[in-house]
Each structure stands twice: as structure tokens, then as C-alpha cells.
Amino acid sequence: MYLISDNVDTLTGMRLAGVDGVVVHERQELKTAIESAMNDPTVGIILLTEKFGREFPDLINEIKLERTMPLLIEIPDRHGTGRKKDFITAYVNEAIGLKL
């Protein structure tokens, strides 16, 4: 695993769990960090803080569609998630077209 975070606190917490990473703030820094992690054969999962998915959805979605490995996963940062409480149920409802 490799973390690309927008804040030092999340990186520090993940480092305590043994996950290495980097802190970036700008779009180009994010793109460079993702490309570097994707070219590292030891990285199977790239963790991204949710802020990047909200600020740069085109970049994140483009990478998710073009590559299957490593897996890109968005995680909440120290401020918590920006998602609604029922986001999983809403996602499933949208995917299968039925209300659960």
C-alpha cells in the first residue's frame, strides 16, 4: 500500500500502521505521485484521501478507467468522510436499479 494524502496528519497515522506515502496539494503533484506509485511494482493499492476525488474527479476517474492495477481507493481523512451516511445503500440502489 501507498498513501497519497492532502494532509500530514493522515500520513502520520498511516505511517504508524506501516504504510508509506506522500503529501501533495496541487493537481500536477498528485498526478506525478500517482504515476510514480503506479510504476512501483511493490505497490498494489494506492490510498487517496477523499479530497482528491472531490477536487480532481476527472484525473482520478481517468486513471481508474485506464488501469486495473494498482487499485485506487479513496479514504476519509482526519476530518472524516464527506459522504452521506447512507452512501453505500444509495450506491447499491443506483447500481442495481432497485430501492432496498
pTM as predicted? 0.72
- The predicted-structure confidence for 58-67, as pLDDT tens digits, reads as follows 888 888 778 7
Q: Which domain holds residue 59?
A: 2-96
Tally of domains in the chain: 1
Do 31 and 22 meet the contact criterion of CB atoms below 8 Å apart?
A: no
Ranges of H-type helices in 1-100:
8-16, 27-38, 50-55, 57-66, 87-96
Assess whether the previous peptide bond of 70 is cis (omega < 30° from 0): yes
- The predicted-structure confidence for 9-45, as pLDDT tens digits, reads as follows 888 888 888 889 999 999 899 889 988 999 899 998 8
Residue 22 sits in a domain of what CATH number?
3.40.50.10580
Cα separation, 26 vs 19, whole angstroms: 22
